[in-house]
Structure 1
Amino acid sequence: MKILCMDIGTGTQDILLYDSEKDLENACQLILPSPTLRVARAIRRATRERRPILLTGVTMGGGPCQWAVEDHLRAGLPVYATPEAARTFNDDLEVVRAMGVQIVSEDEAARLDRQVVRLALRDVDWEALRRAFEAFDVPLRLDGVAVAVFDHGAAPPGYSDRKFRFDYLARQLAERRDLLAFAHRGEEIHSILTRLQAVVRTVREAFDGPVAAMDTAPAAVLGATLDPQVAAWRHRVVVNIGNFHTLAFRMRNGEVEGLFEHHTGLLDQEKLDRLLSRLMAGDLRFEEVFEDMGHGALMFETTPMAPEGVAVVGPRRGLLRGSRHPVYFAVPYGDMMLTGCFGLLQAFAALYPELASPILDSLRGAPRPAPWERLDES
């Protein structure tokens, strides 16, 4: 059984091709520039060439590509976008128009001058992935797909997207208090999660089998708990320090007791240490994080916790080197950058129990023959 796991962030997209006939350490993997970085680079080329751009496709991750669009507009160059592509920058199209982006229909887009640089927005580029794997004689014949992206959700006009995002986190944990609260079958994604829905639609263009979708930070935290040392802790804090967002969970026996989410760029080691101390003490408040331009905090348990350890993952994990807390840099299956993919694999098994047995065997480390042991020597 083969499952393509894709953890799509701001800086990188981390890809694992799970194969039930191989040890996880032998699985094919790719660490590539994120889709938003690729789009941003294409926009900046157009800016240097003084050419207008047209954005089509679906809603995808913003950040770098939005900053490139803003620079393009400041250079006095036109930006056109179809409605769904424009929602990459804001779900309220009036806000996008106020940026200076000209919203056009598909028909109007087709009639634009040939000098326009046409860029299709999407978080999953099937053709590029297929070429990359097939260049090394690895055909993408899949039994499942699991994908993670960060989704603020489609906030109503005038409502803080940071607050709306945190409302989603709180609502999911009100239903179940473990990390699988953030994992969904492809057909069951809530309508407010427009980016996750767009990703699944893109996946469906090339694959009609089982699809699991999850928020990136909980996927990484779930993956971190597969590290044997982290798994052994009953009382733990797990932190994912991403390029753009930092999310920390306080957990007891797998149950979430509290969390906070902030923007990584607004954190230094002292502030992050302080937030973690407050999370452990049980007295961290939503307003403390939100008023500092983060997303918020939520405490289900206010009794102080002395965790057995603080597990840290994510591309910006170095922010906690030298922390005053008992920090452990988790490396599930020997690969920190694939932590989110391992979490996705665990979530896929939970969402599709009929396919779970070989996946769970792999995650438990059941031995598989080495690849060369199965070669036909006749």
Structure 2
Amino acid sequence: MRLLCIDVGSGTQDILLLDTTRTAENAIQFVMPSPTVLVARRIRQATARKKVIFLAGETMGGGACTIALREHLAAGLSVYATERAARTFSNDLGKVTSWGVKLVSDGEAASIRNGVKITTGDVDFALLERAFSAWDVKLDPGVIGVAVLDHGAAPPGESERRFRFRYLEDRLKKQATLESLVYRASEVPEHFTRMQAVARSLGERTPLVLMDTGAAAVLGASLDGEGACHPERLAVNLGNSHTLAFHLEGLKVLGMFEHHTSMLSLQRLETLLARLVSGELTNDEVWNEGGHGALVLSGGGSPFLLATGPRRALIRPSRLKPCFAAPFGNMMLAGCFGLVRAMALHFSEWRMEIDKALRLD
């Protein structure tokens, strides 16, 4: 059985094709520029040529492409976008149009001439098929897993940061496990517009699971050989944009916080981790300094510290002496291996086969 896992970050998209009949270390692995980086590059090329751009496709992650879009508009150049493409930049379409973006229907978009068409979307299965075919690999997965960071479409007047964390808090208070942060395509809440877009992009051709990028990375980091020996863990994923830390006992969540990596110094990160474990960390403390929030369900203990993510160098000199998780020898694929674990948790009919491939049997 082949499992395709795609972890879409703000800097890279990490791709794993795991054959359960082979060792995990021999899986096919790619680390490529993320879709937002690629779209940003195409926008800037159009800006340099002073071209009108037309954005169509699915809602995807913003970040780099949002910055490029604002620069294009600031240069006095026009932007047309379908509603789904426009939600890439904000779920508040009034905000997007206030920048100068002109919304068009799919039909109107097809009639636009003399512009540069840029397709948006977090997952392009046809492109992946072509990439794999260059090495004579047929892309025919039995299950697909995708991780994206989805802030969610907040109600009018509510911050997306606040809304996202409030939803995570409610979810974990009902079921305090990492498994509760895994969704099948039919289970994705309507307000998670980015996950919904991924599900539409892939259709119903193959069973699909979706996760938040941070939760997937933490789940995957727990497969690291040394980390797996410690039931109580403090797992931190230092992503290019966001840092998430989970205090865990097995898969049970004892507490967590989410922050913006660029706002963290080593000293502040160490303080946040210590206060999370002690149970003293509050939601307002993280929110007021620009993060998303914190949740403590149970404090205390002396957890084993696992660190992963592309910005993990921040914690390298820490007095907390972290273990740098590299499941099956690859730190950048932690999120993908977390998706593999999520597949086993959500599809009981394949659990034994997948667990054997992960050497959990």
TM-score, normalized by the shorter chain, greater than 0.5 = yes
Counterpart position of 1:183? 182
Q: Aligned AA for 1:313?
A: T
Tell me how far 1:89 sits from its aligned partner. Answer: 1.0
Contact 1:282 1:305 in 2 (8 A): no
Structure 2: stretches of 5+ with no match in the other structure: none
Counterpart position of 2:11? 11
Measured in 2, the distance between the counterparts of 1:12 and 1:156 equals 30
Q: Aligned AA for 1:202?
A: S
Counterpart position of 1:127? 126
Contact 2:179 2:251 in 1 (8 A): no
Counterpart position of 1:330? 325
Measured in 1, the distance between the counterparts of 2:180 and 2:302 equals 25
State the secondary structure of the residue aligned to 2:226.
helix
State the secondary structure of the residue aligned to 1:250.
strand
Measured in 2, the distance between the counterparts of 1:80 and 1:339 equals 37
Q: Aligned AA for 1:3?
A: L
Counterpart position of 2:59? 59
Measured in 1, the distance between the counterparts of 2:311 and 2:182 equals 24
Structure 1: stretches of 5+ with no match in the other structure: 367-378
Q: Aligned AA for 1:291?
A: N
Measured in 2, the distance between the counterparts of 1:335 and 1:98 equals 43
Query: Paired residues, what number?
Result: 361
> Once structures 1 and 2 are overlaid, which stretch shifts more, 8-17 or 247-256?
247-256
Counterpart position of 1:102? 102
Measured in 2, the distance between the counterparts of 1:315 and 1:166 equals 23
Counterpart position of 2:337? 342
Q: Aligned AA for 1:79?
A: V
Counterpart position of 2:77? 77
TM-score by length of 2: 0.98
Matches within 5 A, 1:242-257: 242-257=239-254
Cα displacement string for residues 277-329 of structure 1 (whole angstroms, at most 9, x for unaligned residues): 11122100111110111000011113x3222x210000000010111213110
State the secondary structure of the residue aligned to 2:230.
coil
Tell me how far 1:144 sits from its aligned partner. Answer: 1.1
Is residue 302 of structure 2 the alignment partner of residue 306 of structure 1?
yes
RMSD: 1.1
Tell me how far 1:341 sits from its aligned partner. Answer: 0.6
Tell me how far 1:187 sits from its aligned partner. Answer: 1.3
Tell me how far 1:61 sits from its aligned partner. Answer: 0.4
Cα displacement string for residues 55-84 of structure 1 (whole angstroms, at most 9, x for unaligned residues): 111110000000000000011101111111
Measured in 2, the distance between the counterparts of 1:333 and 1:126 equals 25
Q: Percent identity?
A: 48
Segments of 4+ in structure 1 off by > 2 A? Answer: none
Q: Aligned AA for 1:228?
A: G
Counterpart position of 1:371? none
State the secondary structure of the residue aligned to 1:168.
helix
Counterpart position of 1:370? none
Tell me how far 1:365 sits from its aligned partner. Answer: 6.6
Contact 1:43 1:68 in 2 (8 A): yes
